[in-house]
Protein backbone atom coordinates (compact mmCIF):
# COMPACT_ATOMS: atom_id res chain seq x y z
CA UNK A 1 0.00 0.00 0.00
CA UNK A 2 1.18 3.44 -0.87
CA UNK A 3 -0.09 5.68 1.94
CA UNK A 4 1.50 9.08 1.74
CA UNK A 5 0.28 11.77 4.08
CA UNK A 6 1.01 15.38 3.36
CA UNK A 7 1.78 17.46 6.52
CA UNK A 8 1.29 20.70 4.56
CA UNK A 9 -2.23 19.86 3.35
CA UNK A 10 -4.04 21.39 6.32
CA UNK A 11 -6.26 18.28 6.69
CA UNK A 12 -5.94 16.38 9.98
CA UNK A 13 -3.69 13.32 9.66
CA UNK A 14 -6.50 10.87 10.57
CA UNK A 15 -8.67 12.26 7.75
CA UNK A 16 -5.83 11.94 5.27
CA UNK A 17 -5.15 8.40 6.38
CA UNK A 18 -8.84 7.47 6.15
CA UNK A 19 -9.03 8.99 2.67
CA UNK A 20 -5.89 7.16 1.55
CA UNK A 21 -7.23 3.83 2.85
CA UNK A 22 -10.64 4.47 1.27
CA UNK A 23 -8.79 5.09 -2.01
CA UNK A 24 -7.04 1.72 -1.71
CA UNK A 25 -10.39 0.04 -1.00
CA UNK A 26 -12.16 1.73 -3.90
CA UNK A 27 -9.34 0.86 -6.28
CA UNK A 28 -9.72 -2.78 -5.21
CA UNK A 29 -6.15 -3.00 -3.89
CA UNK A 30 -7.67 -3.71 -0.48
CA UNK A 31 -10.29 -6.25 -1.44
CA UNK A 32 -13.56 -6.94 0.34
CA UNK A 33 -12.73 -9.41 3.10
CA UNK A 34 -9.10 -8.25 3.38
CA UNK A 35 -7.81 -7.45 6.85
CA UNK A 36 -6.20 -4.07 7.50
CA UNK A 37 -2.88 -4.10 9.32
CA UNK A 38 -3.35 -3.74 13.07
CA UNK A 39 -3.61 -0.20 14.44
CA UNK A 40 -0.30 -0.67 16.20
CA UNK A 41 1.54 -1.91 13.11
CA UNK A 42 0.11 0.84 10.97
CA UNK A 43 0.98 3.51 13.52
CA UNK A 44 4.53 2.19 13.66
CA UNK A 45 5.06 1.86 9.94
CA UNK A 46 3.59 5.31 9.14
CA UNK A 47 5.19 6.96 12.18
CA UNK A 48 1.81 8.19 13.38
CA UNK A 49 0.27 8.13 16.82
CA UNK A 50 -1.99 5.20 17.63
CA UNK A 51 -4.82 7.68 18.30
CA UNK A 52 -4.56 8.99 14.74
CA UNK A 53 -4.83 5.50 13.29
CA UNK A 54 -7.73 4.60 15.60
CA UNK A 55 -9.56 7.75 14.49
CA UNK A 56 -8.92 6.94 10.82
CA UNK A 57 -10.33 3.41 11.26
CA UNK A 58 -13.40 4.86 13.04
CA UNK A 59 -13.91 7.22 10.14
CA UNK A 60 -13.84 4.31 7.67
CA UNK A 61 -16.19 2.36 9.91
CA UNK A 62 -18.65 5.23 9.97
CA UNK A 63 -18.54 5.23 6.16
CA UNK A 64 -19.43 1.53 6.20
CA UNK A 65 -16.25 0.53 4.37
CA UNK A 66 -14.69 -1.52 7.19
CA UNK A 67 -15.72 -3.17 10.41
CA UNK A 68 -13.59 -3.95 13.46
CA UNK A 69 -14.01 -7.43 14.98
CA UNK A 70 -12.69 -8.35 18.38
CA UNK A 71 -9.83 -10.76 17.84
CA UNK A 72 -10.02 -10.59 14.02
CA UNK A 73 -8.92 -7.01 13.46
CA UNK A 74 -10.44 -4.61 10.97
CA UNK A 75 -11.85 -6.12 7.81
CA UNK A 76 -12.89 -4.46 4.53
CA UNK A 77 -16.67 -4.73 4.21
CA UNK A 78 -17.57 -2.95 1.03
CA UNK A 79 -15.78 -1.33 -1.84
CA UNK A 80 -17.82 1.81 -2.24
CA UNK A 81 -21.13 2.31 -0.51
CA UNK A 82 -21.79 5.79 -1.83
CA UNK A 83 -21.45 4.60 -5.41
CA UNK A 84 -23.67 1.54 -4.88
CA UNK A 85 -26.42 1.71 -7.49
CA UNK A 86 -28.33 -1.16 -5.83
CA UNK A 87 -29.85 0.67 -2.88
CA UNK A 88 -28.70 -1.80 -0.27
CA UNK A 89 -25.02 -2.26 0.57
CA UNK A 90 -25.19 -5.89 -0.61
CA UNK A 91 -21.60 -6.74 0.07
CA UNK A 92 -22.09 -6.08 3.75
CA UNK A 93 -24.80 -8.70 3.69
CA UNK A 94 -22.65 -11.38 2.08
CA UNK A 95 -22.56 -14.74 3.83
CA UNK A 96 -19.41 -15.42 5.79
CA UNK A 97 -18.85 -18.33 3.39
CA UNK A 98 -19.67 -16.43 0.20
CA UNK A 99 -17.04 -16.54 -2.54
CA UNK A 100 -15.47 -13.06 -2.61
CA UNK A 101 -16.10 -11.03 -5.76
CA UNK A 102 -13.46 -11.38 -8.46
CA UNK A 103 -10.45 -9.34 -7.45
CA UNK A 104 -8.04 -10.84 -9.95
CA UNK A 105 -6.98 -7.50 -11.34
CA UNK A 106 -7.68 -5.75 -14.61
CA UNK A 107 -8.91 -7.88 -17.48
CA UNK A 108 -8.49 -6.79 -21.07
CA UNK A 109 -11.67 -5.54 -22.70
CA UNK A 110 -13.35 -8.25 -24.78
CA UNK A 111 -12.83 -7.51 -28.44
CA UNK A 112 -11.55 -8.69 -31.77
CA UNK A 113 -7.97 -7.91 -30.84
CA UNK A 114 -7.95 -9.67 -27.47
CA UNK A 115 -5.62 -12.65 -27.27
CA UNK A 116 -6.75 -14.97 -24.47
CA UNK A 117 -4.12 -17.01 -22.61
CA UNK A 118 -5.75 -16.66 -19.18
CA UNK A 119 -8.44 -19.32 -18.96
CA UNK A 120 -8.71 -23.02 -19.76
CA UNK A 121 -11.19 -22.76 -22.62
CA UNK A 122 -10.84 -24.64 -25.88
CA UNK A 123 -10.67 -22.59 -29.05
CA UNK A 124 -13.68 -23.48 -31.29
CA UNK A 125 -11.34 -25.12 -33.85
CA UNK A 126 -10.39 -27.71 -31.19
CA UNK A 127 -13.96 -28.95 -30.66
CA UNK A 128 -15.13 -32.05 -32.53
CA UNK A 129 -17.89 -29.98 -34.12
CA UNK A 130 -19.07 -32.40 -36.81
CA UNK A 131 -19.30 -35.29 -34.35
CA UNK A 132 -21.11 -33.14 -31.77
CA UNK A 133 -23.60 -32.10 -34.47
CA UNK A 134 -24.16 -35.76 -35.38
CA UNK A 135 -24.60 -36.65 -31.71
CA UNK A 136 -27.11 -33.82 -31.32
CA UNK A 137 -29.10 -35.06 -34.33
CA UNK A 138 -29.11 -38.59 -32.89
CA UNK A 139 -30.16 -37.32 -29.44
CA UNK A 140 -33.14 -35.49 -30.94
CA UNK A 141 -34.54 -38.76 -32.26
CA UNK A 142 -35.74 -39.62 -28.78
CA UNK A 143 -37.73 -36.59 -27.65
CA UNK A 144 -39.70 -38.56 -25.06
CA UNK A 145 -36.45 -39.68 -23.47
CA UNK A 146 -35.18 -36.09 -23.42
CA UNK A 147 -38.35 -34.83 -21.77
CA UNK A 148 -38.75 -37.65 -19.25
CA UNK A 149 -37.91 -36.94 -15.60
CA UNK A 150 -34.13 -36.84 -15.25
CA UNK A 151 -32.59 -39.27 -12.76
CA UNK A 152 -30.40 -37.69 -10.05
CA UNK A 153 -27.38 -39.79 -11.01
CA UNK A 154 -27.69 -38.82 -14.67
CA UNK A 155 -29.04 -40.43 -17.86
CA UNK A 156 -28.46 -44.19 -17.77
CA UNK A 157 -27.10 -44.27 -21.36
CA UNK A 158 -24.50 -41.67 -20.46
CA UNK A 159 -23.45 -43.47 -17.28
CA UNK A 160 -23.15 -46.70 -19.27
CA UNK A 161 -20.96 -44.94 -21.84
CA UNK A 162 -18.82 -43.35 -19.12
CA UNK A 163 -18.45 -46.69 -17.31
CA UNK A 164 -17.18 -48.27 -20.59
CA UNK A 165 -14.82 -45.34 -21.16
CA UNK A 166 -13.46 -45.50 -17.61
CA UNK A 167 -13.12 -49.29 -17.87
CA UNK A 168 -10.88 -48.83 -20.93
CA UNK A 169 -8.70 -46.60 -18.70
CA UNK A 170 -8.41 -49.22 -15.97
CA UNK A 171 -11.15 -47.79 -13.73
CA UNK A 172 -13.68 -50.55 -13.17
CA UNK A 173 -16.95 -48.96 -12.07
CA UNK A 174 -20.58 -49.81 -12.62
CA UNK A 175 -22.94 -47.19 -14.10
CA UNK A 176 -24.60 -46.78 -10.68
CA UNK A 177 -21.23 -45.79 -9.23
CA UNK A 178 -21.17 -42.73 -11.51
CA UNK A 179 -22.85 -39.38 -10.83
CA UNK A 180 -23.17 -36.85 -13.66
CA UNK A 181 -22.47 -33.27 -12.51
CA UNK A 182 -22.70 -29.81 -14.04
CA UNK A 183 -19.05 -29.74 -15.10
CA UNK A 184 -16.27 -30.78 -12.76
CA UNK A 185 -16.79 -27.53 -10.89
CA UNK A 186 -20.18 -28.65 -9.65
CA UNK A 187 -18.61 -31.99 -8.78
CA UNK A 188 -16.24 -30.19 -6.41
CA UNK A 189 -19.17 -28.47 -4.73
CA UNK A 190 -21.08 -31.76 -4.52
CA UNK A 191 -18.15 -33.47 -2.79
CA UNK A 192 -17.66 -30.49 -0.48
CA UNK A 193 -21.32 -30.49 0.52
CA UNK A 194 -21.36 -34.22 1.05
CA UNK A 195 -18.16 -34.65 3.05
CA UNK A 196 -17.13 -31.37 4.63
CA UNK A 197 -18.42 -29.49 7.66
CA UNK A 198 -17.48 -25.91 8.55
CA UNK A 199 -14.06 -25.84 10.20
CA UNK A 200 -12.79 -29.06 8.57
CA UNK A 201 -9.44 -29.12 6.83
CA UNK A 202 -9.02 -30.20 3.21
CA UNK A 203 -5.50 -30.80 1.89
CA UNK A 204 -4.75 -29.52 -1.60
CA UNK A 205 -1.56 -29.30 -3.63
CA UNK A 206 0.00 -25.86 -3.49
CA UNK A 207 -0.57 -24.52 -6.08
CA UNK A 208 -3.90 -25.98 -7.20
CA UNK A 209 -7.00 -25.21 -9.28
CA UNK A 210 -8.46 -22.06 -7.70
CA UNK A 211 -12.03 -23.23 -8.30
CA UNK A 212 -11.36 -26.10 -5.90
CA UNK A 213 -10.07 -23.73 -3.22
CA UNK A 214 -13.26 -21.69 -3.63
CA UNK A 215 -15.54 -24.74 -3.50
CA UNK A 216 -13.95 -26.04 -0.29
CA UNK A 217 -14.02 -22.61 1.34
CA UNK A 218 -17.67 -22.17 0.41
CA UNK A 219 -18.36 -25.27 2.50
CA UNK A 220 -16.54 -23.65 5.42
CA UNK A 221 -13.36 -25.71 5.08
CA UNK A 222 -9.82 -24.60 5.54
CA UNK A 223 -7.99 -25.43 2.28
CA UNK A 224 -4.48 -26.22 3.46
CA UNK A 225 -1.73 -26.30 0.83
CA UNK A 226 0.82 -29.11 0.67
CA UNK A 227 3.98 -28.28 -1.30
CA UNK A 228 4.82 -30.05 -4.54
CA UNK A 229 8.01 -31.10 -6.24
CA UNK A 230 8.48 -32.09 -9.90
CA UNK A 231 6.60 -35.35 -9.23
CA UNK A 232 3.57 -33.84 -7.59
CA UNK A 233 2.60 -33.55 -3.95
CA UNK A 234 5.51 -34.00 -1.52
CA UNK A 235 4.87 -37.24 0.45
CA UNK A 236 6.69 -36.13 3.63
CA UNK A 237 4.77 -32.87 3.73
CA UNK A 238 1.56 -34.78 3.00
CA UNK A 239 2.15 -37.17 5.90
CA UNK A 240 2.96 -34.28 8.19
CA UNK A 241 -0.27 -32.48 7.21
CA UNK A 242 -2.32 -35.69 7.59
CA UNK A 243 -1.02 -36.02 11.15
CA UNK A 244 -1.32 -32.35 12.11
CA UNK A 245 -4.57 -31.35 10.44
CA UNK A 246 -6.58 -34.58 10.37
CA UNK A 247 -8.19 -33.49 7.07
CA UNK A 248 -11.57 -34.71 5.87
CA UNK A 249 -10.35 -34.95 2.28
CA UNK A 250 -7.22 -34.80 0.15
CA UNK A 251 -7.78 -33.20 -3.27
CA UNK A 252 -5.18 -34.00 -5.94
CA UNK A 253 -4.72 -33.40 -9.67
CA UNK A 254 -2.10 -36.07 -10.40
CA UNK A 255 -2.14 -35.97 -14.21
CA UNK A 256 -1.15 -32.78 -16.07
CA UNK A 257 -1.78 -30.80 -12.94
CA UNK A 258 -3.41 -27.39 -13.09
CA UNK A 259 -1.63 -24.98 -13.09
CA UNK A 260 1.86 -26.57 -13.23
CA UNK A 261 1.30 -29.32 -15.86
CA UNK A 262 3.21 -31.84 -13.71
CA UNK A 263 2.55 -35.56 -13.69
CA UNK A 264 2.73 -37.60 -10.51
CA UNK A 265 5.02 -40.60 -11.05
CA UNK A 266 3.73 -44.15 -10.57
CA UNK A 267 5.75 -44.78 -7.41
CA UNK A 268 4.60 -41.47 -5.94
CA UNK A 269 0.99 -42.37 -6.72
CA UNK A 270 1.34 -45.61 -4.77
CA UNK A 271 3.06 -43.81 -1.89
CA UNK A 272 0.33 -41.15 -1.68
CA UNK A 273 -2.43 -43.76 -1.75
CA UNK A 274 -0.70 -45.77 0.98
CA UNK A 275 -0.44 -42.67 3.18
CA UNK A 276 -4.09 -41.76 2.72
CA UNK A 277 -5.06 -45.39 3.42
CA UNK A 278 -2.97 -45.33 6.60
CA UNK A 279 -4.84 -42.25 7.84
CA UNK A 280 -8.17 -43.48 6.40
CA UNK A 281 -8.60 -40.22 4.51
CA UNK A 282 -10.65 -40.05 1.29
CA UNK A 283 -8.99 -38.76 -1.85
CA UNK A 284 -10.75 -36.69 -4.50
CA UNK A 285 -8.77 -37.30 -7.66
CA UNK A 286 -9.28 -34.74 -10.40
CA UNK A 287 -8.54 -36.46 -13.70
CA UNK A 288 -9.99 -33.74 -15.90
CA UNK A 289 -6.71 -33.42 -17.84
CA UNK A 290 -5.72 -37.12 -17.85
CA UNK A 291 -6.84 -37.70 -21.46
CA UNK A 292 -4.77 -34.77 -22.72
CA UNK A 293 -1.53 -36.74 -22.98
CA UNK A 294 0.41 -34.86 -25.66
CA UNK A 295 3.71 -36.72 -25.69
CA UNK A 296 3.20 -40.19 -24.29
CA UNK A 297 0.61 -42.59 -22.95
CA UNK A 298 -2.10 -41.51 -20.56
CA UNK A 299 -0.89 -41.76 -16.92
CA UNK A 300 -2.78 -44.34 -14.79
CA UNK A 301 -5.37 -42.74 -12.56
CA UNK A 302 -5.19 -43.03 -8.78
CA UNK A 303 -8.59 -44.70 -8.90
CA UNK A 304 -7.19 -47.50 -11.07
CA UNK A 305 -4.51 -48.12 -8.40
CA UNK A 306 -6.82 -47.81 -5.39
CA UNK A 307 -7.31 -51.08 -3.53
CA UNK A 308 -8.66 -49.50 -0.34
CA UNK A 309 -11.82 -47.88 -1.73
CA UNK A 310 -10.54 -44.40 -0.89
CA UNK A 311 -10.72 -42.58 -4.17
CA UNK A 312 -13.52 -40.50 -5.62
CA UNK A 313 -12.57 -39.98 -9.23
CA UNK A 314 -13.53 -36.83 -11.10
CA UNK A 315 -13.70 -36.28 -14.84
CA UNK A 316 -15.12 -33.73 -17.24
CA UNK A 317 -15.98 -33.31 -20.91
CA UNK A 318 -14.98 -29.65 -20.64
CA UNK A 319 -11.29 -29.98 -21.40
CA UNK A 320 -11.61 -32.41 -24.30
CA UNK A 321 -15.03 -32.32 -25.97
CA UNK A 322 -16.40 -28.92 -25.00
CA UNK A 323 -16.88 -26.92 -21.81
CA UNK A 324 -20.26 -25.51 -22.86
CA UNK A 325 -21.83 -28.95 -22.50
CA UNK A 326 -21.25 -28.49 -18.74
CA UNK A 327 -20.88 -32.21 -18.17
CA UNK A 328 -18.60 -33.68 -15.54
CA UNK A 329 -18.80 -36.86 -13.49
CA UNK A 330 -17.80 -38.42 -10.20
CA UNK A 331 -17.06 -42.12 -9.86
CA UNK A 332 -17.22 -43.23 -6.24
CA UNK A 333 -17.61 -46.30 -4.03
CA UNK A 334 -21.33 -47.06 -3.35
CA UNK A 335 -21.31 -45.77 0.27
CA UNK A 336 -19.93 -42.43 -0.86
CA UNK A 337 -22.28 -42.32 -3.84
CA UNK A 338 -25.35 -42.14 -1.58
CA UNK A 339 -23.99 -39.00 0.06
CA UNK A 340 -22.91 -37.47 -3.25
CA UNK A 341 -26.29 -38.12 -4.86
CA UNK A 342 -28.09 -36.45 -1.93
CA UNK A 343 -25.81 -33.40 -2.19
CA UNK A 344 -26.32 -33.22 -5.97
CA UNK A 345 -30.11 -33.38 -5.55
CA UNK A 346 -29.90 -30.56 -3.07
CA UNK A 347 -27.95 -28.40 -5.52
CA UNK A 348 -30.00 -28.81 -8.71
CA UNK A 349 -32.04 -32.05 -8.55
CA UNK A 350 -30.32 -33.33 -11.72
CA UNK A 351 -28.34 -32.18 -14.75
CA UNK A 352 -30.13 -31.16 -17.97
CA UNK A 353 -30.81 -34.16 -20.20
CA UNK A 354 -29.97 -32.70 -23.62
CA UNK A 355 -26.21 -32.22 -23.10
CA UNK A 356 -26.08 -35.60 -21.38
CA UNK A 357 -27.76 -37.27 -24.34
CA UNK A 358 -25.38 -35.52 -26.76
CA UNK A 359 -22.32 -36.75 -24.88
CA UNK A 360 -23.85 -40.24 -24.60
CA UNK A 361 -24.38 -40.41 -28.39
CA UNK A 362 -20.87 -39.05 -28.98
CA UNK A 363 -19.40 -41.83 -26.83
CA UNK A 364 -21.66 -44.48 -28.30
CA UNK A 365 -20.60 -43.53 -31.83
CA UNK A 366 -16.99 -44.20 -30.80
CA UNK A 367 -16.04 -40.60 -31.63
CA UNK A 368 -13.85 -39.96 -28.58
CA UNK A 369 -10.65 -41.81 -29.48
CA UNK A 370 -10.36 -40.33 -32.98
CA UNK A 371 -11.06 -36.90 -31.56
CA UNK A 372 -8.43 -37.27 -28.84
CA UNK A 373 -5.80 -38.25 -31.42
CA UNK A 374 -6.51 -35.13 -33.52
CA UNK A 375 -6.94 -32.94 -30.44
CA UNK A 376 -3.64 -33.88 -28.81
CA UNK A 377 -1.82 -33.47 -32.15
CA UNK A 378 -3.24 -29.95 -32.47
CA UNK A 379 -2.31 -29.18 -28.86
CA UNK A 380 1.25 -30.41 -29.48
CA UNK A 381 1.63 -27.86 -32.29
CA UNK A 382 0.15 -25.14 -30.12
CA UNK A 383 2.30 -25.98 -27.10
CA UNK A 384 5.46 -26.06 -29.22
CA UNK A 385 4.56 -22.77 -30.89
CA UNK A 386 4.05 -21.15 -27.49
CA UNK A 387 7.21 -22.65 -26.00
CA UNK A 388 9.36 -21.55 -28.94
CA UNK A 389 7.88 -18.05 -28.95
CA UNK A 390 8.44 -17.75 -25.19
CA UNK A 391 12.08 -18.82 -25.54
CA UNK A 392 12.52 -16.19 -28.26
CA UNK A 393 10.50 -13.25 -26.90
CA UNK A 394 10.47 -13.80 -23.13
CA UNK A 395 13.93 -15.18 -22.29
CA UNK A 396 13.60 -13.99 -18.70
CA UNK A 397 10.81 -16.53 -18.06
CA UNK A 398 11.66 -20.01 -16.80
CA UNK A 399 9.39 -22.91 -17.65
CA UNK A 400 9.17 -26.57 -18.46
CA UNK A 401 7.01 -27.37 -21.47
CA UNK A 402 4.32 -29.76 -20.15
CA UNK A 403 3.79 -33.26 -21.50
CA UNK A 404 0.04 -32.80 -21.47
CA UNK A 405 -2.79 -30.56 -20.38
CA UNK A 406 -3.51 -27.07 -21.61
CA UNK A 407 -1.08 -24.76 -19.80
CA UNK A 408 2.46 -23.51 -19.54
CA UNK A 409 3.36 -22.44 -16.01
CA UNK A 410 6.20 -19.94 -16.19
CA UNK A 411 8.29 -18.33 -13.46
CA UNK A 412 9.14 -14.64 -13.59
CA UNK A 413 12.49 -13.16 -12.67
CA UNK A 414 12.71 -11.80 -9.10
CA UNK A 415 12.24 -8.17 -10.07
CA UNK A 416 8.82 -8.74 -11.70
CA UNK A 417 5.45 -9.34 -10.04
CA UNK A 418 2.84 -11.56 -11.67
CA UNK A 419 -0.08 -9.27 -10.75
CA UNK A 420 1.73 -6.30 -12.27
CA UNK A 421 2.56 -8.29 -15.42
CA UNK A 422 -1.08 -9.37 -15.73
CA UNK A 423 -2.17 -5.72 -15.61
CA UNK A 424 0.46 -4.65 -18.15
CA UNK A 425 -0.45 -7.51 -20.49
CA UNK A 426 -4.14 -6.57 -20.19
CA UNK A 427 -3.32 -3.06 -21.35
CA UNK A 428 -1.73 -4.60 -24.48
CA UNK A 429 -4.80 -6.77 -25.24
CA UNK A 430 -3.50 -10.02 -23.78
CA UNK A 431 -5.12 -11.94 -20.93
CA UNK A 432 -2.85 -14.04 -18.71
CA UNK A 433 -3.45 -15.51 -15.26
CA UNK A 434 -1.19 -14.35 -12.43
CA UNK A 435 -0.24 -17.34 -10.28
CA UNK A 436 -1.46 -15.82 -7.00
CA UNK A 437 -4.97 -17.27 -7.23
CA UNK A 438 -3.69 -20.86 -7.31
CA UNK A 439 -2.05 -20.74 -3.88
CA UNK A 440 -4.36 -21.52 -0.95
CA UNK A 441 -2.10 -19.64 1.43
CA UNK A 442 -2.55 -16.44 -0.64
CA UNK A 443 0.06 -13.75 -1.07
CA UNK A 444 2.01 -12.66 -4.08
CA UNK A 445 3.49 -15.15 -6.48
CA UNK A 446 6.02 -15.02 -9.30
CA UNK A 447 4.33 -17.38 -11.75
CA UNK A 448 1.92 -16.93 -14.62
CA UNK A 449 -0.30 -19.55 -16.24
CA UNK A 450 -0.65 -19.42 -20.01
CA UNK A 451 -3.29 -21.53 -21.79
CA UNK A 452 -2.26 -22.62 -25.27
CA UNK A 453 -5.68 -24.11 -26.10
CA UNK A 454 -7.80 -20.96 -25.83
CA UNK A 455 -6.36 -18.56 -28.45
CA UNK A 456 -6.53 -18.98 -32.21
CA UNK A 457 -3.45 -21.03 -33.18
CA UNK A 458 -2.26 -18.26 -35.51
CA UNK A 459 -2.35 -15.70 -32.68
CA UNK A 460 -0.10 -17.54 -30.23
CA UNK A 461 3.11 -15.92 -31.51
CA UNK A 462 1.57 -12.44 -31.43
CA UNK A 463 0.27 -13.08 -27.89
CA UNK A 464 3.73 -14.07 -26.71
CA UNK A 465 5.23 -11.00 -28.43
CA UNK A 466 2.79 -8.86 -26.41
CA UNK A 467 3.78 -10.73 -23.28
CA UNK A 468 7.43 -9.98 -24.07
CA UNK A 469 6.65 -6.26 -24.30
CA UNK A 470 4.68 -6.34 -21.05
CA UNK A 471 7.54 -8.20 -19.37
CA UNK A 472 10.13 -5.70 -20.58
CA UNK A 473 7.98 -2.92 -19.12
CA UNK A 474 7.49 -4.79 -15.86
CA UNK A 475 11.21 -5.31 -15.44
CA UNK A 476 12.02 -1.66 -15.80
CA UNK A 477 12.07 0.72 -18.72
CA UNK A 478 14.04 -0.21 -21.83
CA UNK A 479 15.96 -3.21 -23.00
CA UNK A 480 14.74 -6.75 -23.36
CA UNK A 481 14.70 -8.82 -20.19
CA UNK A 482 18.10 -10.41 -19.78
CA UNK A 483 19.11 -13.84 -18.37
CA UNK A 484 19.45 -17.10 -20.23
CA UNK A 485 16.54 -18.76 -21.97
CA UNK A 486 14.57 -20.78 -19.48
CA UNK A 487 12.96 -23.12 -22.01
CA UNK A 488 13.59 -26.71 -21.05
CA UNK A 489 13.04 -28.73 -24.21
CA UNK A 490 10.46 -31.48 -24.01
Ligand X SMILES: Cc1ncc(COP(=O)(O)O)c(C=O)c1O
User: What residue ranges bind ligand X (CB under 6 A)?
Assistant: 120, 183-185, 209, 211, 253, 258, 286, 288, 316, 318, 323, 328
**How far apart are the C-alpha atoms of 377 and 293, rounded to whole Å?**
10
* Residue whose CB is less far from ligand X, 14 or 251: 251
**Minimum distance, C-beta of residue 318 to ligand X, in the bound complex (Å):** 3
Pairing of strands 486-488, 433-434: unpaired
Which residue, 36 or 288, has its beta carbon nearer to ligand X? 288
Nearer to ligand X, 219 or 288 (CB): 288
In angstroms, what is the minimal distance from the CB of 326 to ligand X?
7
Give 16 or 316: the residue with its C-beta nearer to ligand X. 316
Strand arrangement, sheet containing 222-229: 178-182, 327-331, 311-316, 283-286, 249-252, 201-206, 222-229, 232-233
Q: How far is the CB of 254 from ligand X (least distance, A)?
A: 11
Q: How far is the CB of 294 from ligand X (least distance, A)?
A: 16
Taking the complex as a whole, how short is the minimal distance between the CB of residue 300 and ligand X, in angstroms?
18
* CB 77, CB 91: distance < 8 Å: yes
Instruction: Determine whether 67 is exposed, middle or buried from the number of CB atoms within 10 Å of its CB (0-12, 13-18, 19+).
Output: middle
- Between 352 and 486, CB nearer to ligand X: 352
Strand spans (E) along 384-435: 398-400, 407-411, 430-431, 433-434
Nearer residue to ligand X within complex by CB, 188 or 276:
188
Residue 128 contacts by C-beta under 8 Å, 6 or more apart in sequence? 321, 322, 362, 367, 371, 374, 375
Beta pairing class for 486-488 and 327-331: unpaired
Q: Which residue is nearest to ligand X (CB)?
A: 183
Residue 286: CB minimum distance to ligand X, A: 5
CB 451 within 8 A of CB 123: no
Q: Which is nearer to ligand X, 260 or 353 (CB)?
A: 260
Minimum CB separation of residue 209 from ligand X in Å reads 4
Per the DSSP assignment, residues forming a β-bridge with 229 are 232
- Count Cβ atoms below 10 Å from residue 190 Cβ, excluding itself: 28
Amino acid sequence: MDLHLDPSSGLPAYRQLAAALAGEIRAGRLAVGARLPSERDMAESLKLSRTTVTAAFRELESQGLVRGHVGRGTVVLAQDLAASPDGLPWRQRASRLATPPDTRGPRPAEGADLIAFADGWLHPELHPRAQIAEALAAAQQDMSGLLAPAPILGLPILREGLARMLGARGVEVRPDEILVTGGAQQGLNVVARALISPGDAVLVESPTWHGAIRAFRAAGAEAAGVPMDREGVDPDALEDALIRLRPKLVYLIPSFHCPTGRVMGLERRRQVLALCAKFRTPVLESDVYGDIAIDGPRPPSLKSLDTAGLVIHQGSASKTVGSSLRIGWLAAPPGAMELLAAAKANLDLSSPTLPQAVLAEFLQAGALSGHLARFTAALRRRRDAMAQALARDCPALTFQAPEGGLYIWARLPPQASAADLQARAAALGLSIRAGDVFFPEGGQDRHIRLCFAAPHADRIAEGVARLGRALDEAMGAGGPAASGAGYAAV
